[in-house]
Structure 1
Amino acid sequence: MNLKTNPRLLALAAAALLAGCSMMPVYERPQAPVPAGWDDASATEGAPAAVLDWQQFFANDNLRGLIATALRNNRDLRVAVLNIEQARAQYDIRNADRFPSVSGAVSGSRAPASGGGTASTYTAGLLVSAWEIDFFGRIASLSEAAVAQYLATEEGRKAAQMSLVASVANSWLNLVADEELLALTRQTLATREESLRLTRLRFDSGVSSELDFQQAQSLTESARVALTQQQRQRALDFNTLRLLLGEAPPADASGKAALATLTLPDVPAGLPSDVLVRRPDVRQAEQLLVAANANIGAARAAFFPRITLTAGIGTASNELSGLFKGGSWGLTVAPQLLQPIFDAGRNRAGLRSANVSRDIAVAQYEKAIQSAFREVSDALAGRATLADQLTAQNNVAQAEAVRLRLSTLRYESGVSSFLELLDAQRSLFAARQAQIQTRLQLLQNQVLLYRALGGGWSEPSM
């Protein structure tokens, strides 16, 4: 079969020739520089984090409302969305370079005539500006890089949403813990003020010593110090939540929730390879690597001839009224080939810069993978130990409560000193504070594991 007599085969051959002229290196995903499995091989049944909506993961209605507000108003997320629009516009610009630019042109001029007087000339037509015929894939490589940049910004938006959901959840849990610590501290302060009042009466009546009175007063003031610290911490956590939401949260943002009643579903860890596929920040780093790889193709193509075509079609007339009637029509075609001969090393430096940029993108991609692996490993380590720590801390609080009750009986019976009673009060207060903080750490670790496994970026259903 004669290729010249078959237009379809001729077109396919031309397409194959143009595709073969691409200077872009074949992209190969780098090997993940992490182990094939987690240090903690424990896995639980359930839906993977990446397919579990945050509305399903967080059951508390107050928290859901706060997350929805943050997704509407948060400025960082808004910037991420605008970055997508900007990247899309940049891609449209690059893609437009692959097509000719056609402009309409109308002009008129007057010049002295050779026989005296003036001569008028009017022209009108269409002009195809310098259109580059992309034989060596320079424009195609730049367009490919722009596509990858756009996809990277989309993944960046997902990663920003994922972090925002987790940050709002952790800030809300901090507020819930703040409310519990404040309630505990107020109760402790009231108890110690009553104990101080009784100790003063015993001191005034000569039953107890001034040492007992000063110790009771010190313990009371310590509780007051703890109360002011908790009030300040609650205000700071409230301000953090306000920044995340983009507006002032309700005064009762915690919704009177209690940490002990809050439960979050366990999510299976799966394999590291699965996590890398699901995490938007890892996919973002890979798209940036794809863009850097495509830029190498554009840098290589700069060494080869650049072929441009300028064309125009129009009419000319000595009278404006006859421009489109009796005018003289004409067509001009002006191809141009530019071959770099001497550029003082500019093209070589551009290629070297593109190669280094790809090496940087590879390192950043590998770092994103390693960071993701560490986050999941840290969360799994917390899941394996924090539940046991909370159980032990509950036992400590129960033991300290019994100790305080027995110390009170011994002191009232005159068997032990007032110092023993004060020490029991201090220990119980510290144990209950640690109990709340450990419960908070356990819940926040579950949020961390959910985010680290790629959960939280799915589109909210408003």
Structure 2
Amino acid sequence: MALALAVLLAGCAAKVRAPEPSTLQIPEAWRAPPLADVARRPVDQAWWRGFNDPAMTALVTLALARNGDLRVARLRIEDYRARVRAAAAGQQPTLSFDTGPSRARSLLSNGQPHVGNVFLAEFQAAYEVDVWGRLANATEAAAATLRAESANADAAALSVAANVATGYLNLRGLDAQLELAQATLKLREQSRDLARRQFEVGYSSRLEWLQAQAEYDSAAEQIPQLQRQIFEQENALSILAGGTPGAIVRGAALADLMPPPVPAGLPSDLLRRRPDIARAEDTIAAANAQLAATRDQLLPSFRLTAGGGLQSADFSDFLHGPTRLWRLGGTLVAPLFDGGRVQAATDSAAAQRDQAIVAYENTVRQAFAETENGLDAIVRLREQVVQNDARRATAAETLRIAHNRYRNGYAAYLEELDAQRSLYAADVTRLQLRTRLLTASVDLYRAMGGGWVADTRSR
């Protein structure tokens, strides 16, 4: 009979529909071309140190300590720790104390009025027996949400570190472009002065002099534009580091910065190396636990109560000879009809679980795409660097020949002008490729989790 009763009560739980089958597929290998310089060791958590730039390391460290968004994410962890304690408290007994004198006038059985006093002090204890695990599931839902928030803070820290590293590398790239623009301006000034002297002695036309002047003005125009970009980039980095807009300390030059080795790993490894994937997993766990707790609300709840205290109609008796009272009780509460409220709440919790599952699959797919793109970007950028080196060598030789032909009177200034433009464009592209190759390494480390390890103390 007891078994039949348990089965009957268990059947009172709300109905839960099963989730749809997963469509997630884990590739066996990366689609991007393989790289030769793959590191066969675990990714360093402080991966930005691999660039060997103390200024960059100091800036990232400062941002991880002071960034405003990251501080908010860490404070959210404290909020959810408190929520776990609140949920766990529901599994513990409660104890309360109640006291207070009262005075009332009432009618006796003979119709005469009577004024009486009551002095009462009582302790009350209550405990809900978690027969079906509803309270435990609610606590687990809160704990899984805490783990998700902890992983979310780790993901925010990884994002901040990557954004600061990328911003700093872009800043050094702009610094290098500004140096190139200033050096180019000096060369354009020399070419302009040469064209003016040759015009003054009648060796060349005024058109060639004006062309040289226009090219000088064009080079001069690039400098304030780059200075503005550097100014704005410094301010953005200062804000990321949790400070006010201001200058940024520089370290190694762009040409001296070397990216760290490419981290190794299979696609399946990525599932354990990214905090956003861990957050999505914990969100599913929280949704499942919350679904179980919601489903069991239709099951009976068992509650034990006990109380004891002192009572007297006279204050002196209350102090010296009170009447001792006690009571023990148990309640069984089961809903008979709620208009479908619990079933609707269960359906809602099931939908939230399904949303968490789909969000997890999307997060994993996005992680695969970001890693694939990062690996392929490094391969293609390296190929571009090789082509750019060949292009620059050709442009430099072309300029040398054009300059000699112009000085010796064998060609018009337009030839040298075109050669100058080609070399300058190749130099700018070279610096941009250098910067993009460095930032591509940052993007790859971000995509592969940046050496993230779950913090079991906060999870």
When normalised by structure 1's length, the TM-score is: 0.88
Is 1:293 aligned to 2:275, yes or no?
no
Aligned to 2:433: 438
The residue that corresponds to 1:3 in the other structure is none
Structure 2 matches for 1:14-163, cutoff 5 A?
32-40=24-32, 42=34, 44-49=38-43, 51-54=44-47, 56-112=49-105, 114=108, 118-129=115-126, 131-163=127-159
Cα displacement (A) at 1:32: 4.1
Q: State the Cα distance separating 1:197 from its structure 2 match.
A: 2.8
Deviation digits for residues 68-100 of structure 1, max 9, x if unmatched? Answer: 110111011101101111111111111101112
Counterparts of 1:371 and 1:227, CA distance in 2: 39
The alpha-carbon distance between structure 1 residues 339 and 210, as it changes in their structure 2 partners (threshold 3 A), is same
SS in 1 for 2:276: helix
Report the Cα distance in structure 2 between the residues aligned to 1:138 and 1:155, rounded to whole angstroms.
26
Distance 1:227 1:208, change over 3 A: same
2:361 alignment partner, one of 341, 360, 366: 366
Confirm or deny: 8 A CA contact 1:285 1:364 kept in the other structure: yes
Superposed CA RMSD: 2.8
The AA in structure 1 aligned to 2:123 is: L
Separation in structure 1 between the aligned mates of residue 169 and residue 345 of structure 2, nearest angstrom: 51
Please give the per-residue CA displacement for 1:168-197, whole angstroms capped at 9, x wherever unaligned: 111111111111100100111122123223
User: Compared with structure 1, are the counterparts of its residues 20 and 442 closer, same or farther at alpha carbon in structure 2 (3 Å cutoff)?
Assistant: farther
Aligned ranges for residues 55-454 of structure 1 at < 5 Å? 56-112=49-105, 114=108, 118-129=115-126, 131-248=127-244, 251-255=247-251, 257-323=252-318, 325-454=320-449
TM superposition shift of 1:218: 2.0
CA distance in 2, matches of 1:319, 1:406: 119
TM superposition shift of 1:261? 1.3
Cα offset, 1:322, TM superposition: 3.7
CA gap of 1:176–1:235, structure 2 versus 1, over 3 A, is: same
Change over 3 Å in CA distance of 1:55–1:385 after alignment to 2: closer
Give 3-state SS (helix, strand or coil) of 2:263's partner. Answer: coil
- 1-structure distance, mates of 2:296, 2:264: 45
CA deviation after TM superposition for structure 1 residue 455, in Å:
1.1
Kindly indicate whether the alpha-carbon contact (under 8 Å) linking 1:121 and 1:319 is maintained by their aligned counterparts in 2.
Answer: yes
Q: Is the CA contact (8 Å cut-off) linking 2:309 and 2:326 kept in structure 1? A: yes
Letter of the aligned partner of 1:383 in structure 2? I
Q: Which residue does 1:13 correspond to in 2? A: none
Cα distance change of structure 1 residues 337 and 241 upon mapping to structure 2, 3 Å threshold: same
How far has the Cα of 1:457 moved from its partner?
4.4
Report the more deviating stretch, 169-178 or 36-45: 36-45
Structure 2 CA distance for aligned equivalents of residues 72 and 458 of structure 1:
18
How many angstroms does 1:60 deviate by? 1.2
The alpha-carbon deviation at position 291 of structure 1 amounts to: 0.6
SS for the counterpart of 1:103 is strand
The alignment partner of 2:97 has SS state of strand
Q: Deviations over 1:134-173 (max 9, x none)?
A: 2222211111110100001111111111111111111111
* TM-score between the two structures when normalised by the length of structure 2: 0.89
| Aligned mates of 2:334, 2:53 — CA distance in 1 | 67
Q: 2 CA distance for matches of 1:287 and 1:110?
A: 57
2-structure distance, mates of 1:60, 1:172: 10
CA contact (8 A) 1:21 1:136 kept: no
Conserved in 1, the CA contact under 8 Å of 2:374 and 2:444? yes
Matched AA of 1:121: V
Q: Is the 8 A contact 1:264 1:443 kept in 2?
A: yes
How far, CA to CA, are the matches of 1:314 and 1:200 in structure 2?
110
Q: Relative to 1, partners in 2 of residues 1:58 and 1:327: Cα closer, same or farther, differing over 3 Å?
A: farther
**How far, CA to CA, are the matches of 1:292 and 1:381 in structure 2?**
36
Note the alpha carbon deviations across 1:333-378, whole angstroms, 9 max, x for none: 3433332222222111111111110110001000110111011101
Asked if structure 2 preserves the Cα contact closer than 8 Å seen for 1:42 and 1:269, the reply is no
For 2:80, give the aligned amino acid.
A
Assess, with a 3 A threshold, how the Cα gap between structure 1 residues 189 and 345 changes in structure 2: closer, same or farther.
same
CA distance in 2, matches of 1:184, 1:223: 10
- Give the whole-Å Cα distance in 1 for the aligned partners of 2:248 and 2:142: 46
Letter in 2 for 1:104: F
Distance 1:327 1:358, change over 3 A: same
Distance 1:47 1:27 in 2: 39
Q: Which amino acid aligns with 1:122?
A: F
SS at structure 2 position matched to 1:112: strand
The 1:395–1:314 alpha-carbon spacing in structure 2 relative to 1, beyond 3 Å, is same
CA distance 1:438–1:90, shift in 2 (3 Å): same
Task: Please tell me whether the aligned partners of residues 141 and 287 of structure 2 are also in contact (alpha carbons under 8 angstroms).
Answer: yes
Q: Distance in 2 between matches of 1:375 and 1:39?
A: 12
CA distance in 2, matches of 1:201, 1:189: 18
Kept in 2, the 8 Å contact 1:311–1:333? The answer is yes
Q: Classify the secondary structure of the residue corresponding to 1:37.
A: coil
| Closer/same/farther in 2, CA of residues 20 and 191 from structure 1, 3 Å limit | farther
DSSP 3-state at the match of 2:298: coil
